[in-house]
Amino acid sequence: MRTNPNIIVTGTPGVGKSSHCEVLARDHGLRHISINEVVKERECHAGWDDELKSWIVDEDKLLDSLEEEVKDGGCLIDWHACDVFPKSWIDLVIVIRCNSTILYDRLVARGYSGQKLEENMDAEIMEVLLAEAREAYDQEIIVELQSDTADDIDSNIERIDTWIVNWKKDHADAND
């Protein structure tokens, strides 16, 4: 039984996943696992895709590499995809959303253009990550949070804080 929850923080690139994870990791001592970094550093890939300019993720290697860490709980899994992680690992799925005009400006500021920009914008507008989460996990563990402004981050963190406290309380009761 985990005494700390495992939380997926997902959403289109640029919506604010890392910004939320950094605060949650700092305030709750949760482990921020950036899957992009894990894939690169632990070589959980089958090479580099030159067209997409990204690693070709080997999902089996990725899951093998995370299994031990996740078993103990307390992980924040930060990635733009969520349905690869087994249901049994996950206690909460946070789907971060962003207004499309704001997201456009953020991605342009990062240097995205052409097809890459278009594909990410389409993904956000079409709610691709939300649909993926809804297909893969129980509806009651999925939370959709807006991240357009700094105030949104503050109120989202407050909401997640409350959820974590309640989760720990419920699980302490269950373990008694």
**Cβ at position 175, least distance to ligand ATP in Å:** 33
Half-sphere exposure of 13 (CA within 13 A, CB side): 16
Choose between 15 and 92: whose C-beta lies nearer to ligand ATP. Answer: 15
Q: Could you tell me if 107 and 28 are in contact, meaning their C-beta atoms sit under 8 angstroms apart?
A: no
Choose between 65 and 146: whose C-beta lies nearer to ligand ATP. Answer: 146
Q: Does 110 show up as a binding residue in the annotation?
A: yes
Q: Does 34 show up as a binding residue in the annotation?
A: no
Q: Does 14 show up as a binding residue in the annotation?
A: yes
Q: Are strands 54-57 and 45-49 parallel, antiparallel or unpaired?
A: antiparallel
Q: Which two tokens stand for residue 51?
A: 């067209």
Residue that has been written with the tokens 């097809």 in this structure: 115
Applying CB under 6 A, the residues found at the interface with ligand ATP are: 11, 13-19, 80, 106, 147-150, 152-153
User: What is the rounded distance in angstroms from the CA atom of residue 98 to the CA atom of residue 96?
Assistant: 7
Q: Which two tokens stand for residue 94?
A: 């946070």
Q: Does 18 show up as a binding residue in the annotation?
A: yes
Q: Which two tokens stand for residue 105?
A: 């400006």
**Cβ at position 141, least distance to ligand ATP in Å:** 20
Choose between 125 and 172: whose C-beta lies nearer to ligand ATP. Answer: 125
**Cβ at position 98, least distance to ligand ATP in Å:** 7
Give the residue nearest to ligand ATP (CB): 16
| Number of Cβ within a 10 Å radius of residue 105 | 12
**Cβ at position 53, least distance to ligand ATP in Å:** 13
Q: Could you tell me if 35 and 62 are in contact, meaning their C-beta atoms sit under 8 angstroms apart?
A: yes
**Cβ at position 127, least distance to ligand ATP in Å:** 15
Choose between 127 and 168: whose C-beta lies nearer to ligand ATP. Answer: 127
Choose between 106 and 116: whose C-beta lies nearer to ligand ATP. Answer: 106
Beta bridge partners of 57: 45
Residue that has been written with the tokens 């959820």 in this structure: 163
Summarize the annotated binding site as residue ranges.
14, 16-19, 110
- Report the binding-site residues for ATP: 14, 16-19, 110
